Amino acid sequence: MIDHNEITLDWLLDDVLSQGSHTKRQLVSYTKRIPAFNPLSVLELGKDENRFFWKRNDDYLYLVGIGNLIELAAKQVDYQAIYEEWIQLVDKAFVHNPYLVPGTGLVSFGGIAFDDRKETSQLWENFSASQLRVPKFLFVKYKNDYYLTINLIVQDNEHVDLQLQNIQQEEQRLLQDLGEFPQLGTILRRKEIDTAYWKQTIEKAKHSIQNHLAEKIVLARELRLKLSAPGEMSPVVKKLIETQPNSYVFAFEQGNECFLGATPERLVRLEQHKLQSMCLAGTAPRGENDVEDKRVRHELLNDKKNREEHDFVVQMIRRAIEPYCEDIYIPDNPTVYPLKNLQHLHTPVTAILKHEYHIFDIIRQLHPTPALGGTPKEVALAFIRDDESLDRGWYGAPIGWIDHQNNGEFAVAIRSGLIQNDEASLFAGCGIVKDSDVEAEYEETKIKFLPMLHVLGGQR
């Protein structure tokens, strides 16, 4: 009997090739357990190729993808088509993964545009409306265990030995432990984009809400930065991990551009049909000391506007998942979710996904939540599409991963920025309701810029 934990990559490739000519251009995915490594060192050492990074908000899971072996990309968002294309890829692949660990094996990582009906601007021209990437190497830290998935295209016997030799050399190089990382620069200049127009749009949104055309509309704006040096991916990610410990940290590199951030908001996690989501809406700053922090927390829990804004999200998520799930549990009252610069009202959601559905069914229903779009969804989206000057691109949209076992997790890409060499765009939004105060909403977005401003050198 073969011990599947002992199968080597060369043995697996021999087995694939022995199956005949139909295996030409065969995608092979091979996973093994490896000694402990530093995910950030791997990320930095892989800088010659496109990379991605993911850290779960509880620190249980790290994903570091190096290289771009296969990319599934489209100019439109069609969630069923995304899933079917992924499943076809999985079905045709030769996958060796003896570990029932979420995020191991054949995995794709990527993002989806906030609204593919909004005309794409030059800012986001290098990012597709939907885009999933299968890396050459996937390094995984899950709790206290470490894994490596090697993905490659096998064409024929002629090149296999050379491929194996190159893979072994690259694996050894990427697993070195770095003592130092590139230094972060500073912010030379800031420019708020279309602030006066944005404030006018708040008044227009309030008018629509007061006339009962919508209940809530979320409006976002952009802060453009000039940096003293190119924004290197690994030191920014390192700083985000250090300063935002309760957040998802994500990064997706596309040539010399990188979209990254530290978001507190999970959209959906799926593990063996066990579904988790969250309602995160209603925002307040952190206090200067414990006494003030406790006071602000109490005010947030009892603030009518914030509780209404939060309840919009709770009810929307319940309605969205009910046709797809069983055993739904949502607590009656929120708690406060603390971050370094902010605190939010938070309600967890758990359920069991029915077997005939998949993670993209849930993403389609949940995105955008009222915390990022508004309510009613289509009315709010139409207002944003027509009146918001910002092309959100991947900001506020789903970003995450799916594996060959149909596990996956997507977060909402807020508290984020798009780095383009020595410039960057940061994004922040706020929920507009009938009684919103324009200047208060403006100040809220300034607070939401802080996590990215801090790591890029603007805040000490």
Q: Which CATH number belongs to the domain containing residue 230 in this structure?
A: 3.60.120.10
Active site (annotated) includes residue 265: yes
Residue 460 lies in a domain: no
pLDDT band at 460 (very low <50, low <70, confident <90, very high): very low
pLDDT band at 1 (very low <50, low <70, confident <90, very high): very low
Pairing of strands 248-254, 130-134: unpaired
Question: Which one of the listed residues 257, 265, 388, 409 is annotated catalytic?
Answer: 265
Q: What is the mean pLDDT of residues 257-273?
A: 95
Residue 292 lies in a domain: yes
Quote the pLDDT of residue 2.
Answer: 42
pTM (two decimals): 0.93
Residue 201 above 50 pLDDT? yes
Higher pLDDT, 413 or 313: 413
Higher pLDDT, 380 or 179: 380
Of 174, 209, 225, which residue sits at a domain end? 174
Residue 375 sits in the same domain as residue 448: yes
pLDDT digits (tens, 9 = 90+) for 146-164: 999 999 998 776 678 888 9
Structure tokens at 52: 């991605």
Number of domains in the chain: 2
pLDDT band at 457 (very low <50, low <70, confident <90, very high): confident
Residue 364 above 50 pLDDT? yes
Quote the pLDDT of residue 178.
Answer: 86
Quote the pLDDT of residue 134.
Answer: 98
Quote the pLDDT of residue 311.
Answer: 87
Residue located via tokens 């409006």: 219
Question: Which one of the listed residues 32, 118, 141, 216 is annotated catalytic?
Answer: 216
Residue type present at position 17: L
Residue 294 lies in a domain: yes
Domain around 138: 4-174
Quote the pLDDT of residue 158.
Answer: 62
Least confident of 54-63, 87-96, 119-128, 282-291: 282-291
Residue 198 sits in the same domain as residue 145: no
Quote the pLDDT of residue 10.
Answer: 87
Residue 372 lies in a domain: yes
Least confident of 289-293, 337-341, 375-379, 443-447: 337-341
Residue 179 lies in a domain: no
Q: How far is CA 25 from CA 16, 89, 90, 153, 156, in A?
A: 11, 12, 14, 6, 8
Q: Cβ contacts of residue 383 below 8 Å, gap of 6+?
A: 205, 208, 214, 217, 374
Residue 311 lies in a domain: yes
At residue 217, what are phi and psi to the nearest 5 degrees? -135, 130
Residue 23 sits in the same domain as residue 159: yes
